[in-house]
Amino acid sequence: MPHPVAVPSGILDFIHQGERFFVAGHKEPDGDCVGSQLALCGALRRLGKQAFPCSAGPFKRPEVLPYRDRFITACAIEKKRRRERGAVRALVLDCSSLGRAGDIADALAGLPIAVIDHHAVGQRGNDPPENVYLDPAAPATAFMVLDVIAALGLAPTREEAEFLLLGLCADTGFFRHSSSGSAETFEYAARLIRAGASPKEVYRLMHGGKSLGSRYLLGRQLGKTRSRFRGRLLITTEDYEDTQRFGLDGRDSDSLYQLLQGVEGVEAVVVIRQETAETCAVGFRSREAVDVAAVAAKFGGGGHKNAAGASIAGTIETVYPAIVEAFAPIFQQPPAVP
């Protein structure tokens, strides 16, 4: 697949032919989701269209919290749909179908839908393929939205550029995941910075504003980390009590992964969090060769090759050994030569 994938003309037609748009993203939005939604809404409004960013929330990450009030919920979508008949459409960003959009999916059901997303795995719905813009090689949905804005004949405003730089920085881990093949990522970043976005401000948004409790939680998670397969897998847990005490607001999983991925010899990192009494939320990260999306898929989850997640029924006591076992076929082989 050539990269970047050109914006399909079907997507541009979909935009030109609509008057009002709900611009949706996935639940528990991250910086890429929020940044892409708000930037695209800005561009749509400049084309004389009405655009409503909508989200099921919850807005947990500090970098998206300041924008929570700009989003409408399922209830407001339904109200608007009752009032405004006619050319209303939905653009779904950073998820490949409405399936990951949470409770706004029902409110948007039945509208003409177009999708802009960079996730590799995903259940495709029944949307006409010409309304789907997928580029699994794109580092962020924000990267693709910049292409859409340009294909609409616009240059991003300063505010749109700030939103898109947030998206690009969020999904690249502030460019830590950008390899030597990522010159384009920096070219896109340069365009956004030229349009007025500030990397320093984005960094402050992403890495400031953490609670002291989130630091205590990090300390506990680091202390509980165990090494398996001679250090190739690092696995840690967060029990229900810790989640209730420290982990409800401002959780800082990114820092935890970053610290653990810095350990010599590690190839994959897993965090098992007892989310409710009956389910664990499991996060997977890998550095290079290990495909954690495939491991997460064994448990009904998904994501990217190097970052994935799954929600697994059970307690830490049952989920932990199942996960170690799922990695066994990978780590019983010698390490791949990079």
Helix axes 31-46, 158-171, angle to 10 degrees: 160
Among 162, 171, 252, 267, binds Mn ion (CB under 5 A): 171
Stretch that binds Mn ion, among 100-108, 170-178, 199-207, 221-229 (CB under 5 A): 170-178
Stretch that binds Mn ion, among 27-35, 100-108, 256-264, 267-275 (CB under 5 A): 27-35
Return the number of the residue (37 or 214) whose C-beta is nearest Mn ion.
37
Return the number of the residue (32 or 147) whose C-beta is nearest Mn ion.
32
> 307-313 and 302-304: which strand pairing?
antiparallel
DSSP of 88-126, one letter per residue? EEEEEESSSSGGGSTTHHHHHTTS-EEEEE--SS----S
Return the number of the residue (32 or 160) whose C-beta is nearest Mn ion.
32
Q: State in angstroms the smallest separation of the CB of 36 from Mn ion.
A: 7
Return the number of the residue (88 or 142) whose C-beta is nearest Mn ion.
142
Return the number of the residue (139 or 250) whose C-beta is nearest Mn ion.
139
Alpha-carbon distances of 105 from 22, 24, 84, 234, 313, rounded to whole Å:
11, 9, 18, 36, 24
Q: State in angstroms the smallest separation of the CB of 114 from Mn ion.
A: 17
Does the footprint of Mn ion cover residue 147 (CB under 5 A)? no
Q: How far apart are CA 107 and CA 111, in angstroms?
A: 9
Does the footprint of Mn ion cover residue 117 (CB under 5 A)? no
Does the footprint of Mn ion cover residue 32 (CB under 5 A)? yes
Return the number of the residue (18 or 302) whose C-beta is nearest Mn ion.
302
Nearest to 33 by CA among 111, 100, 133: 100
Among 96, 141, 214, 237, binds Mn ion (CB under 5 A): 141
Stretch that binds Mn ion, among 74-82, 93-101, 188-196, 218-226 (CB under 5 A): 93-101
Q: What is the dihedral of CA 83, 103, 18, 160, to 10 degrees?
A: 110
Structure tokens at 113: 């839908």
Does the footprint of Mn ion cover residue 238 (CB under 5 A)? no
H-type helices in 176-299, by residue range?
183-194, 199-207, 212-223, 240-245, 253-261, 292-298
Q: State in angstroms the smallest separation of the CB of 3 from Mn ion.
A: 16
Q: Give CA angle at 101 (173, 146), nearest 5°.
A: 50
Does the footprint of Mn ion cover residue 94 (CB under 5 A)? yes
* Interface residues toward Mn ion, by CB under 5 A: 32, 94, 141, 171
